[in-house]
Structure 1
Amino acid sequence: MANALLSIQIIPKTNNGESVIPYVDEAISVINASGVKYQVNPLETTMEGELSELLSIVEKMNHKMIELGCPGVLSQIKISYNPNGVSMDQLTEKYR
């Protein structure tokens, strides 16, 4: 079982004030390529996995934004860590 949930809201800075949506789509594609379980929500995306792997994905997402030409990136993250296991389903099952 995964030991961490990590929610991220990535806010890329754009050069000319253009929409950030295409950049956010690229950031989500980094998560998708990683193979971890994730859920896209209106204001953030939540990933489930091992903490070290999730933090590595965050790093790759930030690097991707720079590769795409963003001069900077703001990433807001929340982490739930439990060595005995944690899952999105456990935390939300009573609401489904």
Structure 2
Amino acid sequence: MVNSLISVQILPKTENYEDVIPFVDAAIKVIDESGVKYEVHPLETTMEGDISALMAIIKKMNDKMIELGCVNVITQVKILYQPTGITMDTLTEKYRS
């Protein structure tokens, strides 16, 4: 059941201060490969699904950044947890006319 929306912003720190966009693209690829529904926005990406599965994806995103050579990663997360069910469309449908 879709019981959570999680918005995530990942801020990788590279050793030589390289452009971080390729790293962010790699983090989004982790989300894409997971199969969950998601939307990319200018400052964050929002996913919908089971809270445990989404948190596991965030861990994989962080692991990927380290694997790619980042020194560390700051990850900002916003969570809407609603056990009765929630979707992105539920919150935004009135704006999509």
* TM-score, normalised via structure 2 length: 0.98
For residues 83 and 69 of structure 2, the distance between their equivalents in structure 1, rounded to whole angstroms, comes to 37
SS of aligned partner of 1:92: helix
Structure 2, unmatched stretches of 5+, are: none
For residues 3 and 55 of structure 1, the distance between their equivalents in structure 2, rounded to whole angstroms, comes to 13
1:60 partner letter:
K
Shift of 1:4: 0.1
For residues 77 and 13 of structure 1, the distance between their equivalents in structure 2, rounded to whole angstroms, comes to 17
Which residue matches 2:78?
Answer: 78
Count of matched residue positions in the alignment of Structure 1 and Structure 2: 96
For residues 11 and 40 of structure 1, the distance between their equivalents in structure 2, rounded to whole angstroms, comes to 15
What is the RMSD of the two structures over their aligned residues, measured on CA atoms?
0.5
| Percent identity between the two aligned chains | 65
Shift of 1:17: 1.1
* Structure 2 residue 94 is matched with structure 1 residue 94: yes
For residues 25 and 86 of structure 2, the distance between their equivalents in structure 1, rounded to whole angstroms, comes to 26
- 4+ residue runs over 6 A deviation: none
For 1:39-78, what aligned pairs fall within 5 Å after superposition? 39-78=39-78
